Amino acid sequence: MRLIVYVETDLLGGAEIVTGHLIEALRPDIDVVALGPHREVVEYLAGRRPGTEAIVMPPMRSTRELRAFPTHRRILRSLAPAVFQAVLTFPTACQWPLIAASNVHGIVPIGVEHLGPLPGTRRGEAARRRLTRTLAAHVAVSNALARAVERSSKLPPGSVITIPNAVPDVPVHAVDLGVRRPVFGAAGRFEAGKGIDVLVRAVAMTPDVNLVLVGKGECERALRSLVDELGVAERVHFVGWTDDARSFVAAFDVLVVPSRIEAFGLVALEAMLAARPVIASAVGGLPEVVEDSRTGLLVPPDDPEALASALGALVADGPRRARMGRQGRDRALEHFSLRAMAQAYEALYDRVADQPPT
């Protein structure tokens, strides 16, 4: 069986990372080809599995770039028969490549939602609804996201299936943070939806909390200004971007995921595998990952006071943090294993590949 994985973004975020893990874990008889317009991302995916071909395509993200349509069809014809998996990381992701795939004999298109619906134009939403109905299978990485996509695209209930994300359970060496314990931390892109500003405000309300922020993004300057404004510069530490965020997550005493929107929350799963408790917003797929009061604490989104209360509940309770960390690791291994994720996708590929070709 041949699997084509198409990624349109130019960033290596959570969706791209977990797709790489999937490619690496699939059974040997699945021949994988990584496609997309950005070389760094395509080569990253191909590098996760020996023998994976990387093909950089001309971009086809809008009607202005439709001159690339014949090239896409030609390449897809050369790869047929195959399952075409589009990694959907923003509302209009992969629309034209999916149309090209659905019009090539022997190509079976599926879409995997990693973000979900956002407010858009009526025309754009109508186009997305038409496109989703051409898919042989429609997947979301959490139940909450699956239901949101169904509502947005006016699809029948249960038509979007859920395959939860996973990360490999591998030894991780915790870095030396050089920060007084306990250390609370967050890792990811600094953008409005991640709610790091809410966390900074909560830290300002909570004495004896030291915060380490791993990442970068468009909101970094505003976050640094907020830290100065609130007078917590001695307790909030920016360490920049790293390709090995898990080594920082393993060094935290508690991971905080203060997101305003979150389809799944991959970093929460990484913390749980490192036996670290998680404080997270009760949004999107996070309540499906973090079990409130057992593997961490869930708080309302965009609520610094509630988040400060959760920080305070764990800051001085080392035994509770340790117990939650152990229970979190057990939960991650039982419900979010890489093997289980790979097997679910393998079963899906087998099923759609047996359908009559388009």
pLDDT average, residue stretch 17-23: 97
Cα-only R_g, the chain: 21
pLDDT digits (tens, 9 = 90+) for 95-137: 899 999 999 999 999 999 998 666 555 655 666 676 777 899 9
Give the pLDDT confidence score for residue 63 in this predicted structure.
Answer: 84
> Per-residue confidence at 358, pLDDT binned at 50, 70, 90?
very low
pLDDT for position 243: 84
Nearest 5°: the CA angle 315, 316, 322 is 80
The whole-number average pLDDT for the span 20-30 is: 97
Up-side HSE of residue 357: CA atoms within 13 Å toward CB? 12
- For residue 217, what pLDDT is reported? 94
Q: What is the rounded average pLDDT of the residues 1-30?
A: 95
Residue 120: the pLDDT is 58
Is residue 268 within 8 Å of 188, Cβ to Cβ? Answer: no
Summarize the confidence of residues 77-89 as an average pLDDT: 96
CA 275 – CA 224 distance, rounded (Å) = 30
Q: What is the mean pLDDT of the chain?
A: 93
Tokens for 144, please give them: 């909450």
Inter-residue contact 75 to 55 (CB < 8 Å): yes
Q: What is the mean pLDDT of residues 58-70?
A: 91
Query: Which residue(s) pair with 221 in the sheet?
Result: none
What pLDDT is stored for residue 127 in this prediction? 64
Percentage of the chain beyond pLDDT 70 is: 95
Chain segment 269-325, per-residue pLDDT in tens: 999 999 999 999 999 999 999 999 999 999 999 999 999 999 999 998 999 999 999
Over residues 77-85, mean pLDDT: 97
Q: Report the pLDDT value the prediction gives residue 234, as an integer from 0 to 100.
A: 96
Give the global pTM: 0.93
Helix (H) or strand (E) holding 345: helix 338-353
Instruction: At 332, give phi and psi (nearest 5°).
Output: -60, -45
Whether residue 175 has pLDDT greater than 60: yes
pLDDT of residue 267: 96
**Number of residues that make up the chain:** 358
